[in-house]
Amino acid sequence: MAELGELQETLGYTFRDESLLRLAMTHPSASGKKSIPTGDNQRMEFLGDAILQAVISDALYTLHPDRDEGTLTKARAALVNGTSLAAKAAPFGLEEHLVMSRGQRADFERGKVSALEDALEALVAALFLDGGMDAASDFVRRTFAEELANPDKIEAIKNPKGELQELLQAESEEAPTYEMLSSTGPDHDREFEVVVKHLGQALGQGKGSSKKAAETEAALAALAKAQDC
């Protein structure tokens, strides 16, 4: 693990309680076979995720009063998905600051996106716990400044169905299913409506000019709903 002073310099923030930063950079594998609530960054990841959602939602809402709910929801979903957060973690060098078991370090590439996503979320929580919402909000807004200023340039989630499946299968091995609700309109201008379900529960609905488009919209709706929870 690299020196925390170097990381704080990169972040542009000096922690009053450096143990919070150290905990945020502790991967669950460092606790052994079972994650320990007070021994790794999983609890902080939970808190940081909620703070990220709140700050990004507030920024998009405030900066773009002319945008509707659907546009803002899609922009937020694209910013806080795993691939986006992992990419934002890279310039801060979070990978080299992560504490993990030797075995996990050797296999790091396989779970790299998830680990960096969790680390960034935990870092946001550490900033909040150390310096309050102002510190956390300042960091998030600086990190996503370009995207927040120009939501039209935010790269949409390339594979919503894949993102949703990855999210759900972190909790259960069962994959989500897509069911047709309706198909209306003339043959040359059909509109399909689809619902995505997981473990018997409806997660989101979508409409589109093809089954594939409707399934994509349903997956996006489910991702947005998961982020609001």
Q: What is the DSSP letter of 168?
A: H
- Token pair for 224: 């947005």
Judge contact between 105 and 30, C-beta under 8 A.
no
Exposed / middle / buried, residue 140 (Cβ in 10 Å: 0-12, 13-18, 19+): buried
Label residues 1-33 b or e (16+ Cβ within 10 Å = b): eeeeeebeeebebebeeeebbbbbbbbbbbbee
49 is catalytic: yes
**CA–CA dist 115, 112 (Å, integer):** 5
**CA–CA dist 178, 101 (Å, integer):** 38
From the list 40, 45, 49, 117, the catalytic residue is 49
Q: Choose among 148, 119, 152, 141: nearest CA to 21.
A: 119
From the list 118, 121, 215, 217, the catalytic residue is 121
**CA–CA dist 144, 128 (Å, integer):** 17
Q: Which residues carry out catalysis?
A: 49, 121
